[in-house]
A and B are shown apart, each in its own frame.
Chain A
Amino acid sequence: TQLLEQSPQFLSIQEGENLTVYCNSSSVFSSLQWYRQEPGEGPVLLVTVVTGGEVKKLKRLTFQFGDARKDSSLHITAAQPGDTGLYLCAGDRRNYGGSQGNLIFGKGTKLSVKP
C-alpha cells in the first residue's frame, strides 16, 4: 500500500510562531504537491516540487522535497491567522506504477493560528 504519512495531524499555534509540517513515505514520487483546503471547499494547489532536494519559497512558506523524493516538508515563518486551514500533501506515482495522474493524498494537517 502506498501511503503518505503527514505529521502533525493537528497544530495550534500563536500568531508569529514558526511551524513545520512533514510528509513522509517509503515510496518514491515523480512529484509532490502541497494543497491548502478551507472547510467546505476544494483543495487549492500551493506548490509542486519535482526534483530531489528542491526547495521552493512562496512568501512565508518554504517547501522542500527530499533528496530521495520520498518525503517533503512545509515550513511557515511567522504564521498569521490567515494561514489557518487544512494542509494536504499529495504524491504523484505516475512514473512508479501509479495510473495516469494518480495522486496519493496524506491525511492532512489541520493548522489553527490564533491572533
Chain B
Amino acid sequence: GAVVSQHPSRVICKSGTSVKIECRSLDFQATTMFWYRQFPKQSLMLMATSNEGSKATYEQGVEKDKFLINHASLTLSTLTVTSAHPEDSSFYICSAQAGDRGRYDEQFFGPGTRLTVL
C-alpha cells in the first residue's frame, strides 16, 4: 500500500511554455500533498504544501504565480510550472500524507519528474 505516482516521469519543453505535473495517491486518500525540488547531488527542498480543497502554502522564496498548485481531490495534486525557463530545470518530487493514520504518519514519495527546459 501507500503508492504515489507521478506523470510524466520526464518532460522536455521550450522556454516560455507551461508544464503540468500530476501527483496521484493510488491506494489511499491524501489530505495533504507536498511538492519538492531536488537539484543534482543535493537534498530535497520543500516548495509548497497543499491541502485538498484549499490554497497551497508556499515556502519562502517560491513564486506562487510561477508554480501553480491545485489539489482538487484527495488523490490528485498538480504542479504547473508556468512560463518555464532553463533555470526551472530540475527533478520535481511530490509526496502524499494520509493524515488519518495517526500522529506520526509518514509522507510517501512519488518517483519524481525530470523537467528539462531548453
The stretch that binds B, out of A12-20, A37-45, A74-82, is A37-45
B110: contacting residue among A42, A50, A107, A108, CB under 8 A = A42
Residues of A within 8 A of B49 (CB): 99-102
A46 → chain B closest CB, angstroms: 11
Q: How far is the CA of A43 from the CA of B107 in the complex (A)?
A: 10
Instruction: Decide if the interface of chain B is mainly helix, strand, loop or mixed.
Output: strand
> Nearest CB to that of B41 among chain A residues?
A110
Report whether A107 and B109 are in contact in the complex, using a CB–CB cutoff of 8 Å.
no
B34 an interface residue at 8 Å Cβ cutoff?
A: yes
A105 an interface residue at 8 Å Cβ cutoff?
A: yes
Instruction: Decide if the interface of chain A is mainly helix, strand, loop or mixed.
Output: loop
Question: Considering only CB atoms and an 8 Å cut-off, how many residues of chain B contact the other chain?
Answer: 28
B97 an interface residue at 8 Å Cβ cutoff?
A: yes
Report whether B104 and A30 are in contact in the complex, using a CB–CB cutoff of 8 Å.
yes
Q: How far is the CA of A39 from the CA of B34 in the complex (A)?
A: 20
Report whether B43 and A103 are in contact in the complex, using a CB–CB cutoff of 8 Å.
no
Report whether B112 and A101 are in contact in the complex, using a CB–CB cutoff of 8 Å.
no
A-B contact pairs, 25 of them (CB 8 A): A31-B104, A35-B109, A40-B112, A40-B114, A41-B112, A42-B4, A43-B93, A45-B106, A45-B107, A92-B104, A99-B49, A99-B57, A100-B32, A101-B34, A101-B49, A101-B97, A101-B105, A103-B34, A103-B46, A105-B43, A105-B44, A105-B45, A106-B43, A107-B43, A108-B43
Query: Top 8 nearest A-B pairs by Cβ distance?
Result: A42-B109, A107-B43, A105-B43, A31-B104, A42-B112, A42-B111, A105-B44, A43-B109
